[in-house]
Chain A
Amino acid sequence: MNAQVSRTLQRRAVKWLNTIIMAFLSLLLLSPMLWMISTSFKKPKDVFTYPIQWIPLDPVMTNHIKVWTTGDGFLTFYLNSLKISATLMILAPLLAALAAYGFAKIEFKGRNTIFFLYLCLMMIPQQVLFVPKFIMFDWMHIYNTHWALILPGLFTVFGVFMIRQFFLSLPQEISEAAFIDGAGHIRIFARMFLPLSKPVLATFAIIDFTWNWNDYENALIFLIDKNLYTVPLGMQNFMQEAGVDYNLMMAAATASVLPLLIVFFAGQKYIIQGFSSSAVKG
């Protein structure tokens, strides 16, 4: 065997060894989630057996069935979350695209100042807003309704910023040509920019969905009635009631992570691109 071949073989061996080490490390970081899923199929007596049964020896479906069917309202929480997250995932990107187009493609007086102020708003932490919003929503009669989560969720700084970056990256000529042909901004936006920006809209829609699906603070502060609870709030309620039924808890936790996992594996390419591009350009 000549030196060239043995060097290639050695390099491959090292690369495979690296792969195995990294795979092991990734499983270690994933282990809380893996434990959650495996425990959701266990009987109570098997939850804490040691060594850990990563694959339950005696798997049961009863936990999952119980979570969805008993009167704790998990199904209601789920539908509430879906309603809010899905509404926002459709409307927020469209509204953001509208503003993004205005900021990126139309030259009007004060545009840059307004955009700068707009970005400054991103600095303000949510916590500053909870008290005044609580009082305002009370006045507006949307406290303890889903509107308290939907209305503010429609407007995002991040979405406008992300989509604007994308519009700026499109060649200037295409909109200029259309403009000279007499198409107005409304037509250029609707017929040209919206179709072109499908990937970035999809990416933002996915990110927005996960934000709203996971939103705990707003729900905690603005929702009181149990039948209005979203999944994170419902989870907490469930925890308090399930007590030490850890297997049942983990079935609920699995159910609440499931949409995120589905979205993640279905839209992985978009998600990873979206996260990386927003950061690198930001």
Chain B
Amino acid sequence: MPPFFIPGKDGDPMSWMKRQRMLGYVFIAPNVIGMTVFLLVPALFSFYLMFTDWVFSSGRGPHFIGLDNFRRMVKEELFWISLKNTLLVMLPVPVAVIIGFLIAVMLNNRVYLTKTLRAFFFAPYFTSGIAIAFVWMVLFQPSEGPINAFLRSAGITDPPRWFSSPDTAMIGMLIMLTVGGIGYNMIIYLAALQDISTELMEAARIDGAKTRHLISKVILPLVSPTTFFLLITGFVGAVKGFGMIYAITQGGPANSTSVFSIFAYKQAFHFYEMGYASAISWTMFLLILLISLLQWWGQKRWVHY
């Protein structure tokens, strides 16, 4: 007899089915509990904290102050600097998306050694992190670093001081972030391009479409969901960015590379302003939400599914 009819003290197959359905909760329980403890509860806690004046080191508990943290924030110059820098950090995203797209088109069927080249282009993204940030720091070293040595040899007698100067630190960051992002976009586009049927491409080519038209009239519309995905995740990732920038400059010199996440981090863990830091981080969340909403709205106009 199959076990279908045995289980359960009552021997009723329906109650066995029911128990099997209840197992659903058991399967998801570890993750749901874990997420509640490490994500949902902290999020709610921080949501409450943003309306308080809690300073962790003061020994006083949190005290409700309404929206005072936000009033304080908009009056602070560093908030506006951080907002500007956070928006600047989004610039590399479309640049890396475009370059990634062009490389993917080339790699799709216009070169030999596709797999090797794909790995070469993807590796800088895959390995990027704190270690690579320090490599860039040395590459951009103002007096003797290779980048400035190259610029001098190209006849620029007074090359930028990059991360050592408030005027150029951000430019260095943008270059680093662009190079780091290309590989990911390329990989995703390449997968999308391989989904486009070759017959369609051949048909267009036989109809005499030039490469330029093939790209703009056939390929671009077909990969528009991918473009949309890459821009959204890219912008959201850029707004959250912290590690590589903080590792190189800690937001300096003279706060010139302070982004939201660094602003919030310093308020929390240098000054222990837990309430204020929570308000800043939720503002960051708002910015992320805004980007997502704007793009959801925008996609209706240019994404072809």
Contacts and interface: CB of A to CB of B under 8 A. Distances in A.
A2 interface: no
Contacts of B68: none
A61 interface: no
Given A23-B120, A50-B146, A127-B265, A246 B138 contact: yes
Given A30-B124, A128-B282, A152-B38, A25 B103 contact: yes
B4 A260 contact: no
Interface string B218-257: 0000000010011001000001101100110000000000
A33 B139 CA distance: 11
A128 B2 contact: no
B305 to A, nearest CB: 13
B132 A33 contact: yes
Interface string B44-67: 011001000000100000000000
Nearest to B267: A131
Nearest to A253: B131
B2 A108 contact: no
Contacts of B74: none
Contacts of B264: 127, 130
A155 B35 CA distance: 6
Interface string B276-290: 011001101100110
Interface residues of B, number: 100
Interface in A243-282: 246, 249-250, 252-254, 256-257, 260-261, 264-265, 268, 271-272, 275-277, 279-280, 282
A35 B265 contact: no
A11 B179 CA distance: 31
B20 A257 contact: no
A34 to B, nearest CB: 10
B226 A279 contact: yes
Interface stretch (B25-33, B162-170, B198-206, B296-304): B25-33
Nearest to B152: A50
A219 to B, nearest CB: 10
A86 B107 CA distance: 34
A161 B2 CA distance: 34
Interface in A177-191: 179-186, 189
Contact of B192 (A48, A235, A280): A280
Interface string A95-106: 110110111001
A231 B103 CA distance: 33
A78 interface: no
Nearest to B56: A135
A185 B27 contact: yes
A30 B131 contact: no
B130 A30 contact: no
Contacts of A32: 124, 132, 135-136, 139, 179
A146 interface: no
A34 B40 CA distance: 42
A130 B134 contact: no
Nearest to A276: B191
B17 to A, nearest CB: 9
A181 B230 CA distance: 45
A250 B138 contact: yes
Contacts of B41: 132, 136
A125 interface: yes
A113 to B, nearest CB: 12
B90 to A, nearest CB: 15
A86 B198 CA distance: 42
A64 interface: no
Interface residues of A, number: 96
A126 to B, nearest CB: 7
A122 B266 CA distance: 24
Contacts of B146: 35, 48, 50, 52
Given A180-B4, A253-B131, A127 B281 contact: yes
A216 B184 CA distance: 20
Contacts of B11: none
A129 interface: yes
Contacts of A23: 113, 117, 120
A145 interface: no
B43 interface: yes
B247 A236 contact: yes
Contacts of B277: 131
B123 A30 contact: yes
A184 B20 contact: yes
B21 interface: yes
B215 interface: no
Interface of A: 15-16, 18-19, 22-23, 25-27, 29-30, 32-33, 35-36, 39, 48, 50-52, 95-96, 98-99, 101-103, 106-108, 111, 114, 118, 121, 123-136, 151-152, 154-155, 157, 160, 179-186, 189, 210, 213-214, 216-217, 220-221, 231-232, 235-236, 239, 246, 249-250, 252-254, 256-257, 260-261, 264-265, 268, 271-272, 275-277, 279-280, 282
21 contacts: A19-B112, A32-B136, A33-B124, A33-B132, A35-B146, A36-B132, A48-B149, A99-B28, A102-B27, A127-B264, A131-B281, A135-B56, A135-B274, A155-B35, A155-B38, A181-B4, A214-B129, A236-B247, A260-B129, A272-B122, A277-B191
